[in-house]
Amino acid sequence: MFEKILIANRGEIAVRIIRACREMGIRTVAVYSEADSEALHTMLADEAICIGPAKSQESYLNMERILSAAVAMGADAIHPGFGFLSENARFAELCALCHIKFIGPDSRVIAKMGNKAEARNTMEQAGVPVVPGGHEPVASVEDGKALAEKIGYPVMIKAALGGGGKGMRIAASPEEFEVNFLNARREAQKAFSDGTMYIERYIQEPRHIEFQILADEHGNVVHLGERDCSVQRNHQKLIEEAPSASISRELREKMGETAVRAARAAGYTNAGTVEFLVDREDRFYFIEMNTRIQVEHPVTEMVTGLDLIKEQIRIAWGEPLRFSQKDIRLSGHAIECRINARMAGTVTGLLLPGGCGVRVDTAIYNGCRIPPNYDAMLMKLIVHGQDRTEAVKKMQSVLGELGIEGVETNLEEQYGIFTHPVFEAGPVDTGFIERYFK
């Protein structure tokens, strides 16, 4: 097994990975920026090395510094967590060149799935349903308009290197097309230094359902069921749950098989997520594949009993999966709620919830500083109940207990969502926040 893993991340996910390594008897190296010298991940790892100033570009996003740290500390693998370099194909490639195992899929798979237009074509060729749309990038306004006419309005204009909503515009009519296409392309060019665009039919008020998959390096692929991530604002997920309250057992089975087919078509290894949109008629469409461990992975862990970080490490070491699809049993219902800071500051008081089926994933502690340089997520609250009703009740109780002083958070808003009668009754679609929490 690996002897030493460097964690190229910070915050709760770095802590999560350190804990998994410790349980497996693997030594850990934390990397930290000057703003994180007293961060929990810096203190919990066996060893820690400063890699630069607070700015991400000069620390957590700096490939040379992280690889130099890994070589200097004698790490034999790097876990990238999520965000930062986790979906950077060049970084995965550089790890391989340095003889350090990147804990994730092959760099070519990251690059292929990172291009959403290419991923779409790969999936369509493998018989995975995709949203009706074009097969070629849209080179001009004229080409785009002609294609949109064929697809039928409204259409969704997307950036090939996008995802998460950047470089994305709806066009409801030919009149709207030109300006929205040009704005989307300008945004994409600025954000990704690439203006490759594609078009799909616009799916109205879809549900966002994603399947967790695990693939080892011996050709075995399983899915671990789905997560419903429909509760989001401006493409920021707020709540995730497993299983989805809005799909039947039959649909789950069909989508799960499709997710496995998608992973095979991509030549996927390690943990990944196949994202689908589900329309009002229960038709489902592949939209993207995420080649990283995701923020919301704990809800899958709660309903499967698996430790996904440990599975990632075992797969990266070359072990075959120790279970097949028929061994995967989903039990109960899990919900995750993201607590975000609204500003930087110092935590001056902290009261954590607890109880049966309650999990708190965080790297904050009383007295810790929240630097302004990074993602604002402070904590993930995860509950597991026998069914959705019990899980929702549990989360209401958990949110009522939690106390964070010193930094403003979205705790009140989350309490509002969990006690909203429409959410309580469930399920909800991606328009829920817009409709009830403007």
Using CB under 6 A as the binding rule, the residues of this chain from 271 to 330 that contact ligand MV4 are 277, 287-288
My answer on whether omega of the bond before 243 falls inside 30° of 0, hence cis, is yes
Q: How far is CA 188 from CA 111, 155, 196, 344, 397, in A?
A: 17, 17, 8, 29, 42
Beta strands in 368-412 (DSSP E): 369-370, 377-385, 403-405
Using CB under 6 A as the binding rule, the residues of this chain from 130 to 189 that contact ligand MV4 are 131, 156, 163-165
* Catalytic residue check, 292: yes
> Which one, 112 or 208, has the nearer CB to ligand MV4?
208
How crowded is residue 367: how many other Cβ atoms within 10 Å of its Cβ? 12
Q: Which residues contact 341 (CB under 8 A, 6 or more apart)?
A: 370, 376, 377, 378, 407, 408, 409
Tell me how far, at minimum, the Cβ of 380 lies from ligand MV4, in Å. Answer: 18
> Which one, 106 or 200, has the nearer CB to ligand MV4?
200
Strand order in the sheet with 207-215: 284-290, 270-278, 207-215, 221-233, 236-242, 333-340, 377-385, 358-362
Per DSSP bridges, beta strands 27-33 and 47-52 are parallel
Task: Kindly report the backbone phi and psi dihedral angles of residue 81, in degrees, each rounded to the nearest multiple of 5, phi listed first.
Answer: 65, -140
> Which one, 135 or 322, has the nearer CB to ligand MV4?
135
Per DSSP bridges, beta strands 155-159 and 358-362 are unpaired
Tell me how far, at minimum, the Cβ of 163 lies from ligand MV4, in Å. Answer: 5
> Which one, 2 or 284, has the nearer CB to ligand MV4?
284
Q: Which stretch binds ligand MV4 (CB under 6 A): 73-81, 121-129, 177-185, 199-207?
A: 199-207
> Which one, 156 or 341, has the nearer CB to ligand MV4?
156
| Contact pick of 84, 91, 202, 423 for ligand MV4 (by CB under 6 A) | 202
Per DSSP bridges, beta strands 4-7 and 369-370 are unpaired
> Which one, 55 or 201, has the nearer CB to ligand MV4?
201
The span from the CA of 292 to the CA of 275, in Å, is 12
**Do 268 and 250 meet the contact criterion of CB atoms below 8 Å apart?**
no
| Contact pick of 10, 16, 79, 208 for ligand MV4 (by CB under 6 A) | 208
Tell me how far, at minimum, the Cβ of 206 lies from ligand MV4, in Å. Answer: 6
| Contact pick of 235, 280, 342, 435 for ligand MV4 (by CB under 6 A) | 235
Per DSSP bridges, beta strands 77-79 and 101-102 are parallel
> Which one, 105 or 206, has the nearer CB to ligand MV4?
206
Using CB under 6 A as the binding rule, the residues of this chain from 34 to 63 that contact ligand MV4 are none
* Catalytic-role residue among 10, 16, 227, 292: 292
241 binds ligand MV4 (CB under 6 A): no
Residue 347's nearest CA partner among 413, 411, 416 is 411
Tell me how far, at minimum, the Cβ of 205 lies from ligand MV4, in Å. Answer: 9
Tell me how far, at minimum, the Cβ of 173 lies from ligand MV4, in Å. Answer: 16
| Contact pick of 87, 200, 240, 296 for ligand MV4 (by CB under 6 A) | 200
Residue 21's nearest CA partner among 293, 307, 300, 305 is 307
Active site residues: 292
- Residues found near ligand MV4 in the complex (CB under 6 A): 131, 156, 163-165, 200-203, 206, 208, 232, 235, 277, 287-288, 430
